[in-house]
Amino acid sequence: MIISEVQLRFFTNMTINCRGKLLDLSVPKVMGILNITPDSFYDGGKLTSEEKVLAQAEKMLNEGADMLDIGGMSSRPGAEIIPEDEELSRVLQHIKNIVKKFPAAIISVDTIRAKVADESLKAGAHIINDISAGRFDEAIIPTVAKHKVPFVIMHMQGLPNNMQQNPQYQNVTTEVMDFFAERIAACRKAGISDLILDVGFGFGKTLEHNYTLLRNLKYFSNLNSPILTGVSRKGMIYKTLGTNAEQALNGTTVANTIALMNGAQILRVHDVKEAKEVVKIVATYNHQ
């Protein structure tokens, strides 16, 4: 594994600039998930109207969400990539509605496409969250750089439609670390200042890979960028417990606690209130 001295510095800059809205990550933040999709693994098909999306956004913001992550294409295992126009039609009006009703809200858009990113940012979004880390659409990196917004880059082996078909690694931690080193270099070269790293729990990983990464999450702090953790109600939790996504809230809380103890700065969740409680308890524990 080859990582430059610059990339190995410990993460010290705990603030990201979301188009003039500064987000201080010295206390971890919570990102609420708004899936505008019919087929997401847990909440697909629930937000079927503009009124329901606004109501869910309001609920999450009232519960303390520090940002909202809007997605128009499911990335659950087995999901197919939908047409670009369909993805845009799903998210764009909702972004505009949330910006209008909740002007103080920080909005992230979950997309792998440059055009969706560009149109979303023009509509008032503040962050782009790309599960492909700029590999699906190479134009997304210069697009993010042009808008001068934070970029969430995630590790994924394969694509959603095939990522869980026998994923293999020699050493999952070092391979994900190497992936980030290369992606960080590409993003920095393009001029992106604020990067956020997501190791991609459940994206081309077995149960063992997921828990190895959770256990080793602290090592990714060496890459000098904040860590986002997305384990909410995923298979790594409910399969371990022998339940399902609907019954995985308690397990999610446990996994989020471990993630914060191991250095995560952002929790991406379906359940904001419970995640904010985790943040408060871990912050209190760490400062006593």
- Six-digit token string for 235: 């298979």
Note if 234 is an active site residue.
yes
Q: How many residues are there in the chain?
A: 288
The number of beta carbons lying within 10 Å of the beta carbon of residue 62 is 10
User: What would you report as the CA-atom Rg of the chain, rounded to the nearest whole angstrom?
Assistant: 17
Which positions ≥6 away from 170 have C-beta within 8 Å?
none
Catalytic residue among 233, 234, 273, 276: 234
Burial of 263 (0-12, 13-18, 19+ CB in 10 A): middle
83-88, long-range: CB < 8 A, 24+ apart: 84/113, 84/115, 84/116, 87/111, 87/113, 87/116, 88/115, 88/116, 88/119
CA distance 229 to 133: 15
Catalytic residue among 90, 268, 276, 280: 268
Look at residue 277 and give its three-state secondary structure. Answer: helix
Note if 268 is an active site residue.
yes
Catalytic residues: 234, 268
